[in-house]
Chain A
Amino acid sequence: MKKLNKMIFISILVSIGLALSVLESAIPLPIAMPGARLGLSNMVVLVTLIVFGFKDGIRVSVLKSTVLMLITGSISSFIYSLSGAILSSIMMYIAFRFFSRVFSLIGVSIIGALSHNFAQVSVASAMMNNLRIYTYLPFLMLMSLFTGYFVGLTSIYIVKNLKRNFRTLFER
């Protein structure tokens, strides 16, 4: 694939992720839990990781959280989402690259959601100088099972169709 094509494709992916992030804040969760999100934009990062590889996956996730900060204007949530995005991209890539025989994309996405939560809680506890925030982690972990499952399921379909429709693009 040409460099320009790739750049355009990645910027489209970033904007899809941004749109999903904005959209998901409008979807109410059945349980009131601060910090718990659907993580729809994680779908985009996962697809990028699989289709384009590690470098572009990190690029998309960092760009996405940076521009999302410009949209929402919330600095503290930017720090959380940036740390979560970086750690979850790394973990998802490791899981996909080396353990794809063990885990399907659902498992990879659950691992991503778990590490996203872990990074967020760690950063929050460092920022507030309070280790007790970790007591919130088990609840977030349970939530991330559900969100991770659906994100993974969706990513399976996306990757399947993307590969079929853009076959010429991905033959490297």
Chain B
Amino acid sequence: MIFLTKGDKLLIVIVIILSFSSMGYIKLMALSDAEKYVSVQVNGEEIKRILFDSKLIGTTIPVKTQYGYNLIEIGDEKVRVIEADCPDKIDVKQGYISKIGETIVCLPNKMVIEIKGLDNDTEIDIINR
């Protein structure tokens, strides 16, 4: 490298280390606070709102309404239906959902489980021109 003094090289190395370590830190932070929740809707109305929590892993939540019965299990940042009284049991077969926007639908029981973001559901936060 031409014209680089020792101070320059030190500066470059420090900046590279700093930016890569903060990138890693940001990635870690972003993984740990994925702000999403489970929204359980029956007949179009939200009846339950469950925030993901490490204490909740493995808990089951029964949803019993006039339309039918489903048993929801909360996992590690994911959710599934383990029991249902509907005939086809498509919701049970679907397994876990974990990403914002994913849904489990049980049509006979008029139940929808959706994962939603806490702040906003859209991909774009702000547009700056």
Contact between chains at A145 and B15 (CB < 8 Å): yes
Q: Which residues of the other chain, A, contact B5 by a CB distance below 8 angstroms?
A: 102-104, 107
The minimal Cβ–Cβ distance linking A131 to chain B, given in whole angstroms, is: 12
Contact between chains at A153 and B22 (CB < 8 Å): no
| Alpha-carbon distance between A102 and B9 when the two chains are bound, in angstroms | 10
- Residue A137 lies at the interface, judged by CB distance under 8 Å to chain B: yes
Q: Interface size (A, Cβ < 8 Å)?
A: 27
Q: Which residues of the other chain, A, contact B4 by a CB distance below 8 angstroms?
A: 104, 106
- Residue A168 lies at the interface, judged by CB distance under 8 Å to chain B: no
Within 8 A of A (CB), among B108-129: 125-126, 128-129
Q: Which residues of the other chain, B, contact A104 by a CB distance below 8 angstroms?
A: 3-5, 7-8
The minimal Cβ–Cβ distance linking A43 to chain B, given in whole angstroms, is: 15
A-B contact number at CB 8 A: 62
Contact between chains at B19 and A138 (CB < 8 Å): yes
Q: Do A107 and B7 contact each other (CB < 8 Å), given the known contacts A138-B20, A141-B18, A145-B12?
A: yes
- Residue A33 lies at the interface, judged by CB distance under 8 Å to chain B: no
Contact between chains at B16 and A107 (CB < 8 Å): no
Contact between chains at A138 and B26 (CB < 8 Å): yes
The minimal Cβ–Cβ distance linking B10 to chain A, given in whole angstroms, is: 8
| Alpha-carbon distance between A114 and B12 when the two chains are bound, in angstroms | 11
Which residue on chain A has the smallest CB distance to residue B29?
A135
- Partner of B23 from the list A106, A124, A130, A138 (CB cut-off 8 Å) is A138
Which residue on chain B has the smallest CB distance to residue A75?
B129
- Residue B11 lies at the interface, judged by CB distance under 8 Å to chain A: yes
List chain A positions with a Cβ less than 8 A from chain B.
74, 76, 99, 101-107, 110-111, 114, 124, 128, 130, 135, 137-139, 141-142, 145, 149, 152-153, 156
> Can you list 17 residue pairs at the A/B interface with Cβ under 8 Å?
A76-B128, A76-B129, A102-B6, A104-B5, A104-B8, A105-B3, A106-B8, A110-B12, A114-B15, A130-B126, A135-B26, A135-B30, A138-B20, A138-B26, A145-B16, A152-B3, A156-B3
